[in-house]
Chains A and B, each alone.
Chain A
Amino acid sequence: MFAHIIQTLPQVLIDGLTLGAVYAIIALGYTMVYGILELINFAHGEIFMSGAFIGTAILIGLTGVGWIAAFPAVVTLILVLLITSVATGLLGMGIERVAYRPLRKSSKLITLITAIGMSFLLQDFVRFITELKNGNYIVNTPALFSGKVSVSASSLSSSFDDATFKVTFIVVLIVALCLMIGLEIFVNRTKWGMAMRAVAQDPDTASLMSINVNKVISLTFFIGSALGGATGVLFALHYGTIDPYIGFILGLKAFTAAVLGGIGNIRGAMFGGLMLGILEMFAAANLSTITGNVLGAEYKDVFAFAILILVLIFKPEGLFGKAVTEKV
């Protein structure tokens, strides 16, 4: 049993890292909004999904005009990422303006309900447009980077199997890393980042310090959603097939990652995302071996949700968060 687990480990790690990087960037969006508004932006998974669709649409359009063949793939990638993240960032800002801002003073239950409503609305809206254009709501993304790399892990030690990965794996990792570092710098080093941290501490006092709270919140939504949209493009490029309903479960898992790392904490979200991705891939590859074929890979989602529930029960502040006590 052990031998099998170790043999597949290189492949599991590679797949887990890819998935983990995706979770981590989506988790950043959740964590930023939660850190400032204490609101779980349920529609964030749908913003991610919209990003995947917008990116795919742009790629299909570019393929049509022959751009893909003429320009290097990296240029196309950066262009698509830019356009998509601006579009989804604006979408996120719009959602905040319409559905969350009017309710900022009312109970959490109500905001959560509008968030769920928003995510349903977006799912069906995207389904409608794709089905209208395509006749089918499951879409294949044109490949931007083709090619596979094989890692000869077996030459390192005979107990490992060889692993292969697509070139997009590296793209996903590099872009994810850039986004995370960029966000970290933005939040910690810039004036706007400082304003964001101030609003997160105490919006009322921040507004007394001549910070425009509404603007800061809009900006938070813009950045969080732009990150989500960019991740959507990466996801579409790496996995190749997307449908309007991918966002919800993926968003939920990214939320799990955010909670795992301590919600409101940017580094925690990154760590939680990578950990959850690797854990999930590990479960998917090895659950049936460990349990002697009783539980199969289809239980990997149960695994993720179980982690979520356990963390929320036993350590709701997460691995890196601080515990808060509620006051009346």
Chain B
Amino acid sequence: MKKLMSRLEGNKKAQIILFFIYVIATSGSLMLVQKSVVAFLLLLFSLLLLYFMSLSTKLKSLIAGVILIVLLPFSASQGPAYESYMEVSTLVGIYIAMALGLNIVVGLAGLLDLGFVAFFAVGAYTYGIFATNQAANFMPFGTYPLSGESFWFFIIAGCLIAALFGVLLGIPVLRVKGDYLAIVTLGFGEIIRIVFNNLDKPINITNGAMGLSSVTPPSIFGINLVYPSQFYYVVLVILAAVIFIVRRFEYSKVGRSWKAVRENEIAAQAMGIHLVRTKLLAFAIGASFSGMMGVIFAAKQTFVDPTSFTLLESITILVMVILGGMGSVPGVILGAAVVTILNLQVLTELTDWFNQLSLNGVISIPDALSPAKMQRFIFGGLLILFALYRSQGLLPAKQPTFDLKELKEEAEEEIQPVIPAAEKNVNL
């Protein structure tokens, strides 16, 4: 088996052929057996296989694009479960973008943020308030709800407002570190939730615990986006942009100063890194991704209420980052996908299955044990297990390493023409 794997590792053609067989088999089975969640998951799994293949990054992203844009929607669209598959994929996309945002704050800059979902809430409420007639309560001009066309503007606006809140949170953070920072952000998240929960008086801004319902769906070229399959493409485009931006940031000057701050704040400062600017930037950028996804979430659910923004959500996103690997972009994507699918598909499926079993009288599982309720247990367990045994996550972050031998050889190659000349000089 090992021999086979190592041979496969060297052989690009065999990899591609096997991969295509796998993709065709899974998408074919998804097309034929519509109810099978397994086929759907296996098709998504092909993206992970793709990641491990030894192809150029460009080719990989091209293939991934084809699978996500054409193959997955097409093979899922052949039956009645289409919209539910697309719903799951959309949510996976939303959570991936958020986890990537948190990854900048926690993974790259090393600032533990336990109130991250607050920015998500800020984004969701920004769109929710203006896309229902709630805004008429406090805005003296304009007619509300705004039309669906404004959604595209609000994606940017949500980004900016969340970034502003990120900076606001960042200001106290500049003075506290480590555990204290985690507690401050946790308090901040709770404050935001309580405020949104109670901001229905004296002026009704958020409609309190009742939440905002019938948010205007976004529209483009006169088409209203109401189905998950339509949101899927919106999320896909934004996700591609987010991944591109995150990648660029990671290897930029800012990204390197984030990592330096994470490793040792004082040493980083001594090397001339502007601590305030670096930390605030991490918070602002991380928050802006979350705010953007909040806007999309509000538009997709057409309903916003404070229960979607609890501490559990913040921890869920943290679990995604830690499970995947702090600071590793592919890892975080994997972590977010695994956790979201576990939450939305696997646990609910298992619950249904158990319910079916106890209905048929095969075994009886008490209601208290139903897997859909076990989220906290599972997340808690995952956090502990990963912290204890695999703190680098499923796909650890790759630090660019240099092979000393290779570097020397390279250097010698450059110097070689010079040395004989020098020797000649000596001989003369």
A complexed with B:
yes
Q: Hey, what's the 0/1 contact readout for B155-183 against A, CB within 8 Å counting as 1?
A: 00000000000000000100110111011
B352 is an interface residue with CB less than 8 A from chain A: no
The tally of CB-CB contacts under 8 A between chains A and B is 137
Verify if B318 is at the interface (C-beta below 8 Å from A): yes
B312 to A: closest C-beta gap in Å: 8
**How many residues on chain A are close to B (CB under 8 Å)?**
49
Cα A119 to Cα B184 in complex, Å, equals: 18
- Give B269's nearest chain A residue, CB to CB: A328
Report how far A306 CA is from B201 CA in the complex, Å. 20
Does residue B350 face the partner (Cβ distance < 8 Å to A)? Answer: no
0/1 interface trace, chain A 30-41, chain B, CB 8 Å (1 if under): 000000000110
Inter-chain CA distance A304–B43, complex, in Å, is 49
Chain A residues 108 to 138 lying within 8 A of chain B, measured CB to CB, are 108-114, 116-125, 127-128, 131-132
A249 to B, closest residue via Cβ: B190
- Taking CB atoms, residues of chain A closer than 8 Å to B182 are 40, 112
How far does the alpha carbon of A299 sit from the alpha carbon of B264 in the complex, in Å?
A: 38
Cα A313 to Cα B175 in complex, Å, equals 6
- The answer to whether B388 touches A114, judged by C-beta atoms less than 8 angstroms apart, is yes
A102 within 8 A of B: yes
B18 interfacial contact with A, CB 8 Å: no
Asked if B267 and A312 make an inter-chain contact with CB atoms under 8 angstroms apart, the answer reads: no
User: Are B201 and A121 touching (Cβ within 8 A)?
Assistant: no
Contact A302 B377 (CB under 8 A): no
B344 in the interface, Cβ–Cβ < 8 Å?
no
Q: How large is the interface on B (under 10, 10 to 19, 20 to 34, 35 or more residues)?
A: 35 or more
Residues on the A chain within 8 Å of B239, using CB: none
Measured in the bound complex, the distance between the Cα atoms of B191 and A305 in whole Å is 7
A113, A131, A306, A313: the one contacting B383 at CB < 8 Å is A113
Q: Is A79 located at the chain interface by the 8 A CB criterion?
A: no
Task: Check B176 against A316 for contact (C-beta < 8 Å).
Answer: yes
CB distance from B181 to the nearest CB of A (A): 9
Which residues from chain A contact B62 at a C-beta distance below 8 Å? none
Q: How far is the CB of B368 from chain A (nearest CB, A)?
A: 3
Contact A305 B190, CB 8 Å, known A106-B391, A328-B266: yes
Question: Is A183 positioned at the interface, with any CB of B under 8 Å from its CB?
Answer: no
> B172: nearest residue on chain A (CB-CB)?
A313
Q: Please tell me if the beta carbons of B388 and A103 are within 8 angstroms of each other in the complex.
A: yes
**A121 and B380 contact, CB distance less than 8 A:** yes
B197 within 8 A of partner (CB): yes
Evaluate contact between B191 and A117: CB separation under 8 angstroms: no
A312–B180 touching, CB < 8 Å: yes
Which of B186, B188, B367, B387 meets A117, CB within 8 Å?
A: B387
Closest chain A residue to B319, Cβ basis: A117
Q: B79 interface residue, CB < 8 Å from A?
A: no
Q: 23 A–B contact pairs at CB < 8 A?
A: A109-B110, A111-B387, A112-B112, A116-B318, A117-B379, A117-B380, A117-B384, A119-B380, A120-B379, A120-B380, A121-B376, A121-B381, A128-B368, A131-B368, A252-B186, A252-B187, A298-B198, A305-B188, A309-B172, A309-B187, A313-B176, A328-B264, A328-B267
> B-side interface residues toward A, CB under 8 Å?
106, 110, 112, 114, 172, 175-176, 178-180, 182-184, 186-188, 190-191, 194-195, 197-198, 201-202, 264, 266-267, 311, 315, 318, 322, 366-369, 373-377, 379-384, 387-388, 391
